[in-house]
Structure 1
């Protein structure tokens, strides 16, 4: 007997073709892992599709179809596409939004809001950005059927700032096992003349809540003069200096790097340093742990929830605390090996298959 499909679960594919961000990576991994779970679900009265704009490259999925916008539709801004075109084109579907925002006028929706940092760390964002996100969060939290988020910490923050009631919010932890499928490219080690285990990795990010300035101060100390801090990402030495930081010579800037280059840097690093004052999740520490790289983190935001007892924690306002913990992670072999073993065990608990299953089951129940 032919299955009658009553409704489609439509992934909002606005993130395809956009610049690489942590939020977009999560969305890509969740769609791919969900595709793998759909096998054997025939007959459940649901179909699955990812809806994208024309001209955008999309991975080939086995069970999720790709639906492109009507070619006769004039090219419109991505915000108008999400807020107007998407809900009209998929008005009979259940729309699943994985990148913080979604169409306001489509109640039959679920949206993943990764954090509440537009409220808790407003200085990290421009005023128009803050106002737009707060406006959308207010209505999305009230109108959409489910609000997903990525940690218990983020759930508490979303409740605290009035985005949604606790009974509407479902926590789906990120996975980190994607890094185990990436072949390391060690070209950056040669290009930057780095010695394995004698450098520390961190984000090149000037947002205030990322708190990278505390690492710059720590690496100005005499005890770390022979250790290099390698910052990867878009921000440059000039960007930090323009904010008043005095950047010592042992701070190196890797720029934007590929996934293989990042994995190559992580597997050879002495440690990953993550001093954020707040995080909705904090994926880089788990990626580092999965690859056997020790982690020194701040005990703030979701980081204790994510890292557990597998990281060294340092006061995010004390350069001396970071100096001491970094030296311990690099030079105390017993502590180092303990961190590596504990880190691998911690990372094993965060898989995309587990995340997708929780998402998949929740959406299937809500969309009936």
Structure 2
């Protein structure tokens, strides 16, 4: 039997210890699923390691070792660590970067670029952020052996903007089954005075492409007076109002909440509203579907690809369309049950085991 040449595949663990984001969640789940997948792989003399800075906490993996750099490395800025120290320290390894960026000096690498929104939605990012990401994307796309992305839509966008050629880009869909392992905490319902099925969840995110303003306009209508809009995430009411949004009185801000609290909110919500003008994937709609929460989404970006026929779609520029679809999801029992059943089936096709297998097999092919 042909075996893989001795090599270490090193996960770039820069995301451990950083503020939680959707991209970091994907990276954590992929590493954990890969750890489970490589158990008992006969004839495989490849070592797997996640490389982190000395002080951060890492889950106790069974088959992936944790390499902690020397304590003095803490003093190095995270960009210098990723671009200079990390590739030099692991120069003999194949480096796998899962959070958009990776070291330019290390050609024997693969990087997951989740979307091309610094090109397609530039108004959502600062000038410095856009320039830095475009600079790195240009060289990563040319120098690294594989570019992973999370949807066919994102692949087309990366090709369109010249980040990488089609033959180098491999699509690895996210999973969503992690939410089924979380014990729900329903404390937020009492804290926010919410009635099950009489509130709609959405992201508290001020980025322009997230398009939360259309929901404020929808919930300002008299038809939704008895329904609450619950926003979860870091943005506050003041953040939205400072950008000129008028926040109606039936909007609640949950703030940053734990995974159990989010699962508790999703499992009891009337619907999840996701009006984004573009998305590289769109994980919250699938998480909601897995938990039996109907989804209303904009037909833009990767959302139709990911949600399929299991969601209601609304014009992202029409508050009336959102009001109508929200009332349908909440009050039309036949439609609601159809959405719940279709959503569970749709979500069932997106597992971290499948994602890890696609990642694992692709990397294995280039490290023989």
Please report the TM-score for the alignment, with normalisation by the length of structure 2: 0.98
Task: Provide the C-alpha distance between the structure 1 equivalents of 2:170 and 2:293, rounded to a whole number of angstroms.
Answer: 30
Kindly state the Cα deviation for residue 70 of structure 1 after the two structures are TM-superposed. 2.7
Counterpart residue number, 1:59: 59
Matched, 1:232 2:232: yes
Task: Provide the C-alpha distance between the structure 1 equivalents of 2:247 and 2:61, rounded to a whole number of angstroms.
Answer: 46
Kindly state the Cα deviation for residue 4 of structure 1 after the two structures are TM-superposed. 9.8
Counterpart residue number, 2:311: 311
Once the two structures are superposed, residues 221-272 of structure 1 have per-residue CA deviations (whole angstroms, 9 ceiling, x without a partner) of: 0000110000001111111111111111001111100000000000000000
The question of whether the paired residues in 1 share the 8 Å contact of 2:5 and 2:367 is answered with no
Larger deviation, residues 344-353 vs 32-41 = 32-41
Kindly state the Cα deviation for residue 72 of structure 1 after the two structures are TM-superposed. 4.9
Counterpart residue number, 2:348: 348
Kindly state the Cα deviation for residue 283 of structure 1 after the two structures are TM-superposed. 0.1
Could you say what secondary structure the match of 2:11 adopts? Answer: strand
Task: Provide the C-alpha distance between the structure 1 equivalents of 2:228 and 2:271, rounded to a whole number of angstroms.
Answer: 11
| Cα root mean square deviation, aligned | 1.1
Task: Provide the C-alpha distance between the structure 1 equivalents of 2:242 and 2:17, rounded to a whole number of angstroms.
Answer: 31
Counterpart residue number, 1:12: 12
Could you say what secondary structure the match of 2:309 adopts? Answer: coil
The question of whether the paired residues in 1 share the 8 Å contact of 2:237 and 2:253 is answered with yes
Kindly state the Cα deviation for residue 45 of structure 1 after the two structures are TM-superposed. 2.8
Say if 1:74 and 1:327 are closer, same or farther in 2 by CA, change over 3 A. Answer: closer
Which 5+ residue runs of structure 1 have no aligned equivalent?
none
Task: Provide the C-alpha distance between the structure 1 equivalents of 2:4 and 2:100, rounded to a whole number of angstroms.
Answer: 32
Counterpart residue number, 2:258: 258
Counterpart residue number, 2:84: 84
Task: Provide the C-alpha distance between the structure 2 equivalents of 1:196 and 1:39, rounded to a whole number of angstroms.
Answer: 42
Say if 1:18 and 1:74 are closer, same or farther in 2 by CA, change over 3 A. Answer: closer
The question of whether the paired residues in 2 share the 8 Å contact of 1:14 and 1:53 is answered with yes
Kindly state the Cα deviation for residue 40 of structure 1 after the two structures are TM-superposed. 1.8
Counterpart residue number, 2:299: 299
Could you say what secondary structure the match of 1:342 adopts? Answer: helix
Counterpart residue number, 1:208: 208
Matched, 1:182 2:182: yes
Counterpart residue number, 1:96: 96
Say if 1:204 and 1:72 are closer, same or farther in 2 by CA, change over 3 A. Answer: closer
Please report the TM-score for the alignment, with normalisation by the length of structure 1: 0.98
Could you say what secondary structure the match of 1:80 adopts? Answer: helix
Could you say what secondary structure the match of 1:344 adopts? Answer: helix
Counterpart residue number, 1:106: 106
Counterpart residue number, 1:245: 245
Kindly state the Cα deviation for residue 82 of structure 1 after the two structures are TM-superposed. 0.3
The question of whether the paired residues in 1 share the 8 Å contact of 2:155 and 2:169 is answered with yes
Could you say what secondary structure the match of 1:296 adopts? Answer: strand
Query: Stretches of 4+ moved more than 4 A in 1?
Result: none
Could you say what secondary structure the match of 1:50 adopts? Answer: strand
The question of whether the paired residues in 2 share the 8 Å contact of 1:5 and 1:47 is answered with no
Task: Provide the C-alpha distance between the structure 1 equivalents of 2:222 and 2:30, rounded to a whole number of angstroms.
Answer: 44
Say if 1:6 and 1:227 are closer, same or farther in 2 by CA, change over 3 A. Answer: same
Task: Provide the C-alpha distance between the structure 2 equivalents of 1:104 and 1:358, rounded to a whole number of angstroms.
Answer: 24
Q: Give the count of matched residue pairs.
A: 366
Task: Provide the C-alpha distance between the structure 1 equivalents of 2:193 and 2:39, rounded to a whole number of angstroms.
Answer: 47
Task: Provide the C-alpha distance between the structure 1 equivalents of 2:237 and 2:274, rounded to a whole number of angstroms.
Answer: 18
Matched, 1:273 2:273: yes
Counterpart residue number, 1:25: 25
Task: Provide the C-alpha distance between the structure 2 equivalents of 1:32 and 1:73, rounded to a whole number of angstroms.
Answer: 25
Counterpart residue number, 2:172: 172
Task: Provide the C-alpha distance between the structure 1 equivalents of 2:236 and 2:45, rounded to a whole number of angstroms.
Answer: 51
Could you say what secondary structure the match of 2:75 adopts? Answer: coil
Larger deviation, residues 137-146 vs 73-82 = 73-82
Matched, 1:198 2:198: yes
Could you say what secondary structure the match of 1:114 adopts? Answer: coil
Which 5+ residue runs of structure 2 have no aligned equivalent?
none
The question of whether the paired residues in 1 share the 8 Å contact of 2:4 and 2:367 is answered with no
Task: Provide the C-alpha distance between the structure 1 equivalents of 2:152 and 2:308, rounded to a whole number of angstroms.
Answer: 13
